Structure 1
């Protein structure tokens, strides 16, 4: 392994992955901002989504630094970048599963109290386990330059570590594999429960069940429940493929297309969550459009006022004011 050259990260791959990082940064920021701006949106599920977005935000920033620099040694900044991305990426896995578990308890088990009690557990697990793993890996000098064998320029597990495969599992891959299994199972159970409940409701309340608005909201919720595990797997599967190819010592893992897909998959999660939970959520989308239109209108009015002022000749605004004052005085004398 030491005698093999590192995976070449081409400029085109850097540009594409950096764009993905930027979109994820903006998407995660938008989720956080909408939660802060509108208090009535501060439900527990959306609060959990904000915690996930914080992890995705950190991932996007740290990965962007790695892709921009493309590290070549175990430098201090390489270790710092690798530690932050390891912590954030692992935390993102846990929060993604935590949201699924919360929805399962809330919808299928119909226990609001139990679901809310689990939030503290989610914090301990989703922040605590990644932190312990990352601190341990850094302390044992397992985080560092990995020759882009299972990355796209950023640092992760040191490629020279004898037990690198074990630490690759502990710092990400084992949690990724568990998420592949857990997420589809949980969301299938939720969808099944909702469909059974909807069928029972439509039997006794056919008028409500046949309302177009009710159908539209139900269909959108159904689409989201389907998309969440699918999007997660589609984005993350490329890094898993490269990891398996690394275990098999296959040169295919260095294929530029596969490397690019890996880079996009690891960095686009924040943007994907923004699309699903902001842009595809009608109440939030409507508020955003209203806010943007209002801001555009205000800017247009300010620009028009600014243009009118600048169209006046020097001193013309003063003369106009004097003429208005004279007219007012004349009316007063009459």
Structure 2
């Protein structure tokens, strides 16, 4: 299966990972396209989602080039592909956490002004830090052919670098570990605050009490799925990295390699499913754009899309959240 430290990437694995790259490319493109087409969707959370999608788009393209080519040496193409994927992948980690931080400040801390003031910092950190790390890695000849030790055909940290484990941490793994810890904590705090706000809403606005579950059901589902999906997709890369540290040949197993390839290249597709296909107003508009409104189901969805959106994620209406925050504060004062 492998020669020395080199992990063989089979043709079947290439096909599966390339399909995953294509789906992520299309998903990221769709998120960006819906933001460009419909001005009323251009809220700050969704704008942050677009920046994340740009990173995922770059990741999908660069990974696809690597998986298609399956580099065998430290060629110029290998270094360029490895640099782009390193920058895009690291940036994706930062933007994923940035969205969680924004929602936490906006919803839990009830401060839209503070949350909006963080956007510039998000840009500086989410683009600047990955760029500095990538430039440093390329300048020091740390990016190159890695024999698919912790990749699936694409280039990353050169296998010839004596300190490759350190650079694997700096160019991705340490940020991945921090995201594992940060995302669940932030989203649990957000869900807890929303639950308390809905409890107060039920108490002070009995006329709306029966509608509270419908307001929060999809948002609660998304808030649960965001960290779960991130961890499920990324964990295979982490497992292979840990197996590398343990010098275990299990990291070369085809099933683990395939899961790693799918996980690293599916973030754009997962975000599209959650924030486009599972978001009713956007799904309905897409249905209409694809000339599906002739069906009764689509017409019914079009009517529902005219109702205010109560999701608490990137397609959230700020006014809805402020009403809930006011109610939550009233409950705490009581």
- Bucket of the pairwise TM-score, normalised by the shorter protein: 0.7 to 0.9
RMSD across aligned positions (CA): 1.3
Q: Deviation of residue 217 (structure 1)?
A: 3.2
Q: Deviation of residue 294 (structure 1)?
A: 6.2
Work out the CA distance in 2 between the residues paired with 1:185 and 1:120.
23
Work out the CA distance in 1 between the residues paired with 2:91 and 2:247.
29
Query: For 2:154, what is the secondary structure of its paired residue?
Result: coil
- Give the TM-score, by structure 2 length: 0.86
Query: For 2:195, what is the secondary structure of its paired residue?
Result: helix
Work out the CA distance in 1 between the residues paired with 2:187 and 2:8.
38
Work out the CA distance in 1 between the residues paired with 2:246 and 2:5.
17
Query: For 2:290, what is the secondary structure of its paired residue?
Result: helix
Aligned to 1:150: 150
Q: Deviation of residue 201 (structure 1)?
A: 1.0
Q: 1:203-248 CA deviation, whole Å, 9 max, x = no partner? A: 121221202xx53231000000000000000000000000000000
Work out the CA distance in 2 between the residues paired with 1:32 and 1:101.
21
Query: For 2:291, what is the secondary structure of its paired residue?
Result: helix
After superposition, residues 126-141 of structure 1 pair within 5 angstroms as 126-141=126-141
Aligned to 1:328: none
Aligned to 2:176: 176
1:191 to 2:194 alignment: no
Aligned to 2:308: none
Q: 1:262-298 CA deviation, whole Å, 9 max, x = no partner? A: 000000000000000000000100111011116999x
- Structure 1: where are the runs of 5+ without partners? 298-334
After superposition, residues 289-328 of structure 1 pair within 5 angstroms as 289-293=287-291
Does structure 1 conserve the Cα–Cα contact (< 8 Å) formed by 2:5 and 2:149? no
Q: Against the structure 1 CA distance between its residues 13 and 218, is the aligned structure 2 distance closer, same or farther, given a 3 Å change threshold? A: same
Aligned to 1:232: 230
Does structure 1 conserve the Cα–Cα contact (< 8 Å) formed by 2:71 and 2:153? yes
Q: Deviation of residue 157 (structure 1)?
A: 0.1
- Structure 2: where are the runs of 5+ without partners? 296-334
Q: Deviation of residue 152 (structure 1)?
A: 0.2
After superposition, residues 1-334 of structure 1 pair within 5 angstroms as 4-211=4-211, 214-293=212-291
Query: For 2:259, what is the secondary structure of its paired residue?
Result: helix
Q: 1:83-125 CA deviation, whole Å, 9 max, x = no partner? A: 0000000000000000000000000000010000000000000
Does structure 1 conserve the Cα–Cα contact (< 8 Å) formed by 2:287 and 2:293? no
Q: Against the structure 1 CA distance between its residues 18 and 295, is the aligned structure 2 distance closer, same or farther, given a 3 Å change threshold? A: farther
Q: Against the structure 1 CA distance between its residues 155 and 40, is the aligned structure 2 distance closer, same or farther, given a 3 Å change threshold? A: same
4+ long deviations beyond 4 Å? 294-297
* Structure 1 or 2: more helix by fraction: 1
Query: For 2:7, what is the secondary structure of its paired residue?
Result: coil
Work out the CA distance in 1 between the residues paired with 2:293 and 2:73.
47
Indicate the structure (1 or 2) with the bigger Cα radius of gyration: 1
* Greater Cα offset, 198-207 or 276-285: 198-207
Work out the CA distance in 2 between the residues paired with 1:232 and 1:76.
32
Query: For 1:210, what is the secondary structure of its paired residue?
Result: helix
Q: 1:6-65 CA deviation, whole Å, 9 max, x = no partner? A: 100001100000000000000000000000000010000000000000000000000000
